[in-house]
Structure 1
Amino acid sequence: MKYIRTILFNIAFYLWTGLCTLMTLLTLPLPFKWAFFPQDIWAWGTNKVLWVAGMRVEFRGLENIPDRPCLICSKHQSAFDTIVFFSILPKAAIVCKKELLELPIFGWYMKKIEEIPIDRSAGGAAIKEMVRASKKALGKGRSIIIFPEGTRVGVGKKKEFQPGIYALYKMLKVPVVPVALNSGYFWPSGQFLKKPGTIVLEFLPPIPADLEKESFMNTLENEMNSATAKLITEANKGKSS
């Protein structure tokens, strides 16, 4: 039954994604403020079709999101993570690898809505450009979403957080909200089969301001990794089903 539900989900998801991708072409000539509709409706629709595979999404700790633009630092286990945030943080800017902006249609749209590309081979210059683009986004009232590990990391695995996250913390002077999740347990990266259950995104209390680099990095990693491990344990016990 899981295979049938996964096949049906994939059909629904990719048809929906294709439709939203076509919608992006219609927004390219529109003013910036009107260009976010395909992104927002893509996230909304994806959340809706989760039920086909027996999945649902639950948001916890929404009270920890400030009423002003902030920096969202999330674990990254699944393709779902790059979609779901736009259902609760419309118009947020996401930090992404620059290669995505070179893709036809999808890349054009990402440039249109001014996502924040980073050239992972450019070292310090890339961090400076990321900070500059992030300040511009904040100036437009947008929150920033970043995955500090820099790539998808499987359930139960860890990867050292990238130093660019501290540069944003130090230079932007906005609240930093860590996010734990268990998306990779139900929608694992690189695997066909989806598992039924509840994908949980938990927004943790903001990191204290003005920490030194080592203290900030340790605090961020420990809080995100610890909370994520608890969500995976919860999923294993069937409490997220």
Structure 2
Amino acid sequence: MQYLRSLIYVIQVYIAMAVLGLSFTPWAILSKRGALVACKLYARYAMWSARWMVGLKTEVRGPVPRGEVMVAAKHQSFFDILIIFEALPHPKFIMKKELLWTPFIGLYAKRLGCIPVDRGRKGAAIAKMVTDVAKEFDEPGQLVIYPQGTRVAPGAQTPYKVGSAVLYEGTGYPCVPVATNAGLFWPRTGILRKPGTAVVEFLDPIPPGEERRAFLARLEEAVEGHSDALLREAQEG
């Protein structure tokens, strides 16, 4: 029964993406605010419908950053993207370049000021990312990066990439680490969505000025430690 509910949920939530994407396209093209409103509405709808269709609730912990900061988040599934996006006032994501060709997501990502990265070019991609961030931050916002570079299953270990440290140095912004347990309920792959409470936790900021290795070590300790704690909490609850 839970699988059937999950299948219905997945189908309708992608239909909602298409409907909202088409409906808001004229406003989104004319105004960045139109793109932001559309994406916020979609995130809220996806979380609201998950609550009553599959029993998946959401919780945001910690002080949500409002100013110009870098947000370095644990990435376990599409659901943690939605929770973070809805929570932040004006998020701008570092995203893989291929997503620009995804229907609706590509258009709205461009309008929101998200930064595409060609992950195959490595050093050149990092340099371009820092340059593109400087251009996009003519308008205030929260820059969201996934320091492991991809979705990682709960409890799995994947190295933290240097790109987040380079961006931290290049922007001079404080960095807010973010932990989550969302992948426990909404896996990276597959249809099944499990009931429970997906938590996103904003942690104490790391001020500007840390040395690169020290920053990465501090970031990894905060994100991994709190994500593991959220995982244990959910499993024991």
| TM-score over 0.5 (shorter chain) | yes
TM-score (norm 1): 0.91
Per the alignment, residue 33 of structure 1 pairs with 33
Per the alignment, residue 54 of structure 1 pairs with 55
Per the alignment, residue 7 of structure 1 pairs with 7
Would the alpha carbon gap of residues 196 and 66 (structure 1) be closer, same or farther in structure 2, given more than 3 Å must change? closer
* RMSD, aligned α-carbons: 1.6
AA aligned to 2:231 is: I
Residues in 1 aligned to 2:47 and 2:103: alpha-carbon distance in whole angstroms: 25
* Structure 2 contact 72–146 (Cα < 8 Å) conserved: yes
Residues in 2 aligned to 1:33 and 1:229: alpha-carbon distance in whole angstroms: 36
Per the alignment, residue 120 of structure 1 pairs with 119
AA aligned to 1:186 is: F
AA aligned to 1:29 is: I
Per the alignment, residue 204 of structure 1 pairs with 203
Structure 1 unmatched runs, 5+: none
Per the alignment, residue 170 of structure 1 pairs with 169
1:21 paired to 2:17? no
* Structure 1 contact 93–115 (Cα < 8 Å) conserved: yes
The offset of 1:28, in angstroms, is: 4.5
Would the alpha carbon gap of residues 7 and 104 (structure 1) be closer, same or farther in structure 2, given more than 3 Å must change? closer
* Structure 2 contact 177–205 (Cα < 8 Å) conserved: yes
1:42 paired to 2:28? no
Residues in 2 aligned to 1:2 and 1:234: alpha-carbon distance in whole angstroms: 22
The offset of 1:109, in angstroms, is: 2.8
Would the alpha carbon gap of residues 186 and 217 (structure 1) be closer, same or farther in structure 2, given more than 3 Å must change? same
Per the alignment, residue 132 of structure 2 pairs with 133
The offset of 1:24, in angstroms, is: 4.5
The offset of 1:148, in angstroms, is: 0.6
Write the deviation string for residues 42-76 of structure 1: whole angstroms up to 9, x where unpaired. 11111111111001100000x2x444111111001
1:194 paired to 2:193? yes
* Structure 1 contact 137–143 (Cα < 8 Å) conserved: no
Write the deviation string for residues 87-139 of structure 1: whole angstroms up to 9, x where unpaired. 12143110000011123443233223321000111122211221122223333
Residues in 2 aligned to 1:20 and 1:128: alpha-carbon distance in whole angstroms: 35
Give secondary structure in 1 for the equivalent of 2:119. Answer: coil
Structure 2 unmatched runs, 5+: none
The offset of 1:192, in angstroms, is: 1.8
Q: Which has the higher helix share?
A: 2
Residues in 1 aligned to 2:11 and 2:99: alpha-carbon distance in whole angstroms: 23
The offset of 1:193, in angstroms, is: 1.2
* Structure 1 contact 43–87 (Cα < 8 Å) conserved: yes
AA aligned to 2:55 is: G
Residues in 1 aligned to 2:65 and 2:112: alpha-carbon distance in whole angstroms: 23
Match runs of 1:63-212 below 5 Å: 63=63, 65-212=64-211
Residues in 1 aligned to 2:171 and 2:193: alpha-carbon distance in whole angstroms: 38
The offset of 1:200, in angstroms, is: 0.4
Count of aligned pairs between the two proteins: 236
* Structure 1 contact 180–202 (Cα < 8 Å) conserved: yes
Residues in 1 aligned to 2:93 and 2:79: alpha-carbon distance in whole angstroms: 14
Residues in 2 aligned to 1:25 and 1:209: alpha-carbon distance in whole angstroms: 38
* Structure 2 contact 35–112 (Cα < 8 Å) conserved: yes
Residues in 2 aligned to 1:17 and 1:31: alpha-carbon distance in whole angstroms: 19
